[in-house]
Amino acid sequence: MCLLTAIGGWAQEIVIDGHRAPLDTLNSIWLCSVPQDCFGKDFNATVTYDSDVRMLVIDGTAVTNGGSYTFSGVTGGKNYTVTAYKGSELITGHITFTWLPIVELEGTFNVPYSYGTVRVNEPDSAYAEPMLAKVKWRGGATNVRGKNKRNYRIKFVNEDSTKANHRFFGLRNDNSWILDAGQMDFLRVRNRVSTDLWLDFARQPWYADSVGHVNNGSRGVMVEVLLNGAYVGIYNMCEPIDRKQLKIKRYDEENKRFHGVLWTAYSRTGTTMMSNPGKRYSSLKYLWDGFELKYPDYDEINRYNWTALDEAVKFAYRADNSDLQLRTDSMGYYFDLPVMQDYYIFVATLQALDNECKNIYYACYDNDGSHVLTMVPWDLDICLGANFMPRVNYPDMIKPERGVTEWMLHAPMADMMEVPEWREQLNERYAQLRKTVFNTDSLVNRYWAAIDNLVDCGAAAREEARWSKDTDLAMKPLNLINEMQYVEDWIRRRMVYLDENVFINEDPGPGPGLTGDVNGDGVVNISDINAVISFILAGKYDEKGDVNGDGVVNISDINMIIGLIL
């Protein structure tokens, strides 16, 4: 391990089997990310350190520079006592292991971008070098004075300030990343797990046949973060939603012509609800009454295009509601209806109160062609009974037995619920999903798996110790297990309520079966994988083989079954 000069000390890192273990100066703990298969057993590792350190002692055993040491019975949260000697100086602390990636931010950050460095220590990767980046705080209600656990936007750059792409966690190779704090979420994973749920079942945008698979949501992983050497907890490090993810057409720089356009609704207004538009947009501004233009980048082209979005808002506001068939036909001209159906079911099921008309991205594939808008959810912290104002309790607003129409303020989705054929399609789609990803046990297990992952690697305890009773949480205790028990009860009650009161199927047929049991024998095993393979080879769609409910039978269904078996 190489000991670097630290702020107020001289031992900032230890390298164990090639993995950098940065020092958390708040708790005097060297936190090391290693593969998960190192846990639950003894871990024999090579330990190296700076030549100025004359002795390093771990749990009473002196370890030579470049020598090996066996960490006995590695488990999440287990500490190994460390004493390091440099001349007459010494530093004491502990080493502990995690299997989550560790992200280190170094710099002074605020609302505008400022330069700093970032290291991303992945458990399965070699030693992580620092990378130059522009970093800023991000967020709405979470980005105001007095907040402590901040969200960050990171843009990696070269020394000459040009973009520098980096790939992490097997995701995309890009310069732009986000660290989402889950600042107001007492579960800390609502956004990450709910977004993964959307990615697992939502149908592809209407133009996907032309461009290939579209990532119509933000992919990411849970990480642990140190800010200037101090532990700041669990974060969701994720890709932003942008042109590259959604594969909309590039802006034509040569001819100064708009093609793909991307907007987000960041505030709840009459315009973002599309029910009572306020002032008209200006082609000279990148903001319009709760909407923000995200692509093309207004800092780069200084031009703004609102055409397709404005048309959709005007239609929703002025639509003739008396002719239901005309309403349906016309709605399909402005909105990607299969995606809208999935969005409605998704938001209604999770009771995502902050996503019904805001925290939505709208993508236009090509402004020169069809103006159909596809919808993408973003920032799903306020769902599953989350108390969206930690200082105040609103039990009637977050109870699982709450109806949908009283808070679904998005005019196009609300208006379509008056069309009988649309409601029938929604009910059929919901019934299909109830057999797969929206099976009650499947939903509950999905969130429990995320919490168990944090508990088992020790990250949950570190997060709770760092942020419990913080002012971000209105001085309330943070206990992930307790919150997950609340969420499980909420989900089970919510699904009963939706089945009986919202998505009512007059002829439901067989009830939801065991997810992944393609051949119907009551167990999920290799036979079900073989059954899906048979459907694929036959080149036909069969609902039984569509395990993830995305409308196709393919390798994704096989992967889902494998995940259920494992």
438 vs 476: CA distance, rounded Å = 31
Residue-wise over 428-464: b if at least 16 C-beta within 10 A, else e? ebbbbbbbbbbbbebbbebbbebbebbbbbbbbebbb
What pLDDT is attached to residue 118? 98
Residue 138 predicted with pLDDT over 50: yes
Give mean pLDDT, residues 198-211: 97
Given a contact cutoff of 8 angstroms between Cβ atoms, the answer to whether 61 and 33 are in contact is: no
If pLDDT is split at 50, 70 and 90, which confidence band does 390 have? low
CB atoms within 10 A of CB 152: 25
198 vs 4: CA distance, rounded Å = 43
Give mean pLDDT, residues 230-244: 97
Given a contact cutoff of 8 angstroms between Cβ atoms, the answer to whether 320 and 336 are in contact is: no
If pLDDT is split at 50, 70 and 90, which confidence band does 511 have? very low
Phi and psi of 247, rounded to 5°?
Answer: 55, 35
Residue 553 predicted with pLDDT over 50: yes
Give mean pLDDT, residues 82-100: 91
317 vs 327: CA distance, rounded Å = 12
Phi and psi of 490, rounded to 5°?
Answer: -60, -45
CB atoms within 10 A of CB 252: 12
Residue 66, burial from CB neighbour count under 10 angstroms (0-12, 13-18, 19+): exposed
Residue 362 predicted with pLDDT over 50: yes
How many helical (H) and strand (E) elements, i.e. helices and strands, does the chain have?
A: 15, 23
* Stretch (H or E) spanning 84: strand 80-86
If pLDDT is split at 50, 70 and 90, which confidence band does 93 have? very high
Type of residue numbered 17: D
Average pLDDT, the chain: 90
Residue 374 predicted with pLDDT over 80: yes
- Written as one string, the DSSP assignment of 287-336 is EETTEEEEES-HHHH-----HHHHHHHHHHHH--TT-HHHHHHHHHHHB-
Does 345 or 126 have the greater pLDDT score?
345
Given a contact cutoff of 8 angstroms between Cβ atoms, the answer to whether 202 and 347 are in contact is: no
Q: Are strands 61-63 and 131-138 parallel, antiparallel or unpaired?
A: unpaired
Rounded to 10 degrees, what is the CA torsion of 389, 393, 395, 396? Answer: -70
* Stretch (H or E) spanning 348: helix 337-350
- Written as one string, the DSSP assignment of 143-200 is SSTT--S-EEEEEEB-TTS-B--EE-TTS-EESEEEEE--TT-SSS-HHHHHHHHHHH
What pLDDT is attached to residue 551? 76
If pLDDT is split at 50, 70 and 90, which confidence band does 4 have? very low
What pLDDT is attached to residue 562? 76
Alpha-carbon distances of 69 from 47, 93, 183, 393, rounded to whole Å: 7, 17, 38, 51
Residue 104 predicted with pLDDT over 80: yes
* Stretch (H or E) spanning 215: none
What pLDDT is attached to residue 391? 64
Which structure tokens are listed for 63? Answer: 């370890």
If pLDDT is split at 50, 70 and 90, which confidence band does 238 have? very high
Give mean pLDDT, residues 382-398: 82
Best-predicted range by mean pLDDT (146-150, 454-458, 507-511): 454-458
By C-alpha distance, which of 310, 436, 428 is closest to 373?
A: 310
Residue 432 predicted with pLDDT over 70: yes
* pTM of the predicted protein model: 0.87
For 18-22, 225-229, 534-538, which range has the lowest pLDDT when averaged over its residues?
A: 534-538
Query: pLDDT tens-digit profile of 209-230?
Result: 999 999 999 999 999 999 999 9
Best-predicted range by mean pLDDT (12-26, 136-150, 293-307, 372-386): 372-386
163 vs 301: CA distance, rounded Å = 17
> What's the gap between Cα 232 and its chain centre?
18
- Classify the C-alpha dihedral 152-158-164-169 as positive or negative: negative
What pLDDT is attached to residue 8? 36
